Structure formats: structure tokens, C-alpha cells
Amino acid sequence: MAKALRIKFQPPLAITLLILGFFVFLPMLSAFEYSIRTPLTGGYGWTHYIWAVTEEDFLHYILRSMWLAGVTVLITLFVLVPTMTWLHLSNSKVRGLIDGLSLLPLVIPVVAFAVGAQISFPEFVQNTVLELPFLYFVLALPYAYRSLDIGLNSIPLKTITEAARSAGANWLRTITSVIIPVIRGSVMATIALTFALSLGEYTLTVLLHWDTFPTWVTYVAQDNILGAIAISMMSLIIPFLILTVITLFVPERTIQGRK
């Protein structure tokens, strides 16, 4: 940690961060500035934020989107971690194929994907909102896959897996007690990417006629655009805070090790 804080000033790094800040934070700051305007009285205030949190559907939709995102994260970890561990350990030829397949959600139009994927589900899944996490999982696959892939490539996976097994750990314990903690950074990135993508997903949700937080924001925006921007700001800040809290509370032990 101490080392990380002693990074020297490097002009290329500073310029990159400046450009990144310009493209990422300037639009966010502008949106924030816009959302705290009070056109009727002039100046700034929290009017729209107060309006948003007192809207009776606000809590309902934000909670719904969050638990759907949570289920998506669980599906992603449950499916991807064991599968990718197996792919890395077996050196199977299908790994290249699956690498390519994992990119398909980026090129398949959401309309085609939504309809095609939905009809492949059993009817009892189609009829509930629980179909969304499975579809969000597919949409997040290109990012989640690559994030875990980097983590698994960076460790001596075969040796530590065999060491764990010979010390008495079954496959489940090997994955939960050894592999996931060792690639914690990648797992956290996967959780963050999947959670954020699921929370903000709009197109597919609308196509399948479900209502979640993003669709509700669009609906609200028709009557109160400033209120909708305030809600959007909160939808950015709330997951950010949640992920920050998760990161802080998970013991900080990565492959480099920490005191």
C-alpha cells in the first residue's frame, strides 16, 4: 500500500488521467449541476432529489433493480468461476472457441437476443421477472469473462489447485477457499461490472415489457426531466457507494499479499 502512495509524478500518466477526468467527470458534474438547479426560484437546491426520494415508486424500483443485479452477479460467479477454472486447468481446445463465443453478446442485436433467448426459457421462467438476471448475465459475459480470465492467467492455477486438493480440499472448497480469494481483484471487478451493467440495463428490459429502475426513470422523465436527472445521479452514486463498501469490508489480501 505504502508503495502505491509513493508513485512519482509522471507527465504521461497525469495527461491520461486529465483526459479521462474530462470525459468521465465533466459530463457527470454537468448533470449534477443541472439536477440541483431550481428554475422557479433561481439558484440551486435539493428540490429534485427530495422529490425523487419521496416518490412512492422510487424505493420499489431501485430495490428491484438492485436485487435483480445481485442475482445476476450470483449467476455470473456460480457459472463462470468453475467453468473458467476448468477451462484453464484442462487446457482444452474448446477454450479458444469459448473465448470467441463470450464476445457474441457484443455483436448480436439486443432485439434478436431478447426474443431468441426468451423463447428458449421454460414458461415458468418467462412469466417471472427472474428471466432478466439470466439475460443480464449473457449481456455482461464479455466483460465478466475477460476480467476473470486475466485473474486466472496471472496465478499459478494448476499448482495451487493441486496443492489445495492434496491438502484435503474438495473442488468446492478449492474454488471458494483458494481460487476466489487469490484472484479477489478480478472477482471484485467482475462483480462491479456485472452489477453496474445489470442495474443500468434498459433496452432489453423494455423489449421484454418489464419495469425496473431505468425504465421507471424514463417514465418519470416525461413529467419532470430535472427530477429524472436527479434520480439518474443517485443511480450512479448508490451502486458506487455499495461497491466501495463491499471492497472495504472484504479482507484485503491479494496475490501480492498485504500486511
Partner 1 sequence: MSSKSLSLKNISKRFGNVNALDNFNLEVGVGELVALLGPSGCGKTTALRVVAGLEHQDAGTVLVADKNISDVPAHKRNMGMVFQAYSLFPNLTVEENVAFGLQMRKVSKHLRLKKAHELLDLVGLDSQSKRFTHQLSGGQQQRVALARALAFEPEILLLDEPLSALDAQVRVNLREEIRRLQISLGTTTLFVTHDQEEAMAISDRVGVMNNGVLEQIDTPDALYNKPASSFVASFVGTMNRIPAHISNGMVEIFGSKVVALKRGNESGKVHALIRPESISVVATTTQGNAKVLTRSFMGASSNIICQTADGTIVQSLMTSASTGDLLPGSSVQLRILSSEVLVANV
Task: Give CA–CA dist 131/71, Å, rounded.
Answer: 11
Minimum gap (Å) between residue 250 Cβ and partner 1: 11
The residues that touch partner 1, with contacts defined as CB under 8 A, are: 155-156, 159-160, 162-170, 173, 177-178, 181-182, 184, 253-259
In the bound state with partner 1, the residue whose beta carbon lies nearer, of 152 and 182, is 182
Burial label for 61, CB within 10 Å (0-12, 13-18, 19+), is buried
Minimum gap (Å) between residue 218 Cβ and partner 1: 43
In the bound state with partner 1, the residue whose beta carbon lies nearer, of 36 and 155, is 155
Task: Give CA–CA dist 226/205, Å, rounded.
Answer: 23
Q: Are the beta carbons of 231 and 218 closer than 8 angstroms? A: no
Q: Are the beta carbons of 139 and 105 closer than 8 angstroms? A: yes
Minimum gap (Å) between residue 246 Cβ and partner 1: 17
Identify residue 229 by its one-letter amino acid code: I
Helix axes 213-221 and 184-200, enclosed angle (nearest 10): 40
In the bound state with partner 1, the residue whose beta carbon lies nearer, of 209 and 259, is 259
Q: Are the beta carbons of 82 and 170 closer than 8 angstroms? A: no
Pinpoint the alpha helices (H) of the chain: 2-5, 11-35, 47-54, 56-90, 94-101, 104-107, 110-120, 123-126, 131-153, 157-166, 171-173, 180-182, 184-200, 203-207, 213-221, 225-249
In the bound state with partner 1, the residue whose beta carbon lies nearer, of 48 and 184, is 184
Task: Give CA–CA dist 225/202, Å, rounded.
Answer: 17
In the bound state with partner 1, the residue whose beta carbon lies nearer, of 31 and 155, is 155
In the bound state with partner 1, the residue whose beta carbon lies nearer, of 164 and 231, is 164
Minimum gap (Å) between residue 254 Cβ and partner 1: 7
Minimum gap (Å) between residue 194 Cβ and partner 1: 22
Minimum gap (Å) between residue 253 Cβ and partner 1: 4
Minimum gap (Å) between residue 169 Cβ and partner 1: 5
Task: Give CA–CA dist 253/259, Å, rounded.
Answer: 8
In the bound state with partner 1, the residue whose beta carbon lies nearer, of 41 and 256, is 256
